[in-house]
Structure 1
Amino acid sequence: DALQKFPLQGVRGLNALLPFDIAVHRIFAVDDEMHARFSATQRSYEYHIHFQKDPFLHNRSWLQRDKPDTELMNQAAAIIMEYSDFSCFSKSNTQVFTNNCKIVNARWEQTPNGIVFKISADRFLRNMVRAIVGTLMMVGKGEIAPQEVRKIIESKNRSNAGTSVPACGLYLTEIKY
Structure 2
Amino acid sequence: MTKTQRYFIEIAFDGTRYHGWQTQPNAITVQEVLDKALSTVLRQAIETVGCGRTDAGVHAKQLFAHFDVMEDGRGKMENVDSVLRSINGLLPIDITAKRLIPVDTEAHARFDATLRSYEYHVHFEKDPFRNNFSWQVRDKPDVELMNRAAQIVMEYTDFSCFSKSNTQVKTNNCKIARAEWALHNDKAIFYISADRFLRNMVRAIVGTLMMVGRKEIEPEEVRQIIESKNRSNAGTSVPACGLYLTEIKYPYL
Q: Which has the higher helix share?
A: 1
Q: Which has the higher strand share?
A: 2
Find the aligned partners of 2:76 and 2:87 in 1 and give their Cα distance: 10
- Partner in structure 1 of residue 34 of structure 2: none
For residues 1-177 of structure 1, the aligned pairs below 5 Å read 2=75, 4-177=77-250
> 1:4 Cα deviation (Å)?
4.8
Find the aligned partners of 2:128 and 2:157 in 1 and give their Cα distance: 38
Gaps of 5+ in 2: 1-70
Structural RMSD (CA)? 1.2
Find the aligned partners of 2:248 and 2:162 in 1 and give their Cα distance: 21
Where 1:12 maps in the other structure, the secondary structure is helix
Contact 1:3 1:9 in 2 (8 A): no
> 1:171 Cα deviation (Å)?
0.3
Q: Percentage identity across aligned positions?
A: 69
Moved more, 1-10 or 44-53: 1-10
Moved more, 85-94 or 111-120: 111-120
Where 1:95 maps in the other structure, the secondary structure is coil
Find the aligned partners of 2:103 and 2:183 in 1 and give their Cα distance: 37
Where 1:27 maps in the other structure, the secondary structure is strand
> 1:49 Cα deviation (Å)?
0.3
Find the aligned partners of 1:144 and 1:159 in 2 and give their Cα distance: 15
After TM superposition, what 4+ stretches of structure 1 lie above 2 angstroms from structure 2? Answer: 1-5, 17-22
Contact 1:3 1:27 in 2 (8 A): no
Distance 1:3 1:158, change over 3 A: farther
Letter in 2 for 1:79: I
Mark the structure with the bigger radius of gyration: 2
Higher relative contact order, structure no. (Cα contacts within 8 Å, ≥ 6 residues apart)? 1
Moved more, 116-125 or 104-113: 104-113
Normalised by the size of structure 2, how large is the TM-score? 0.68
Letter in 2 for 1:133: V
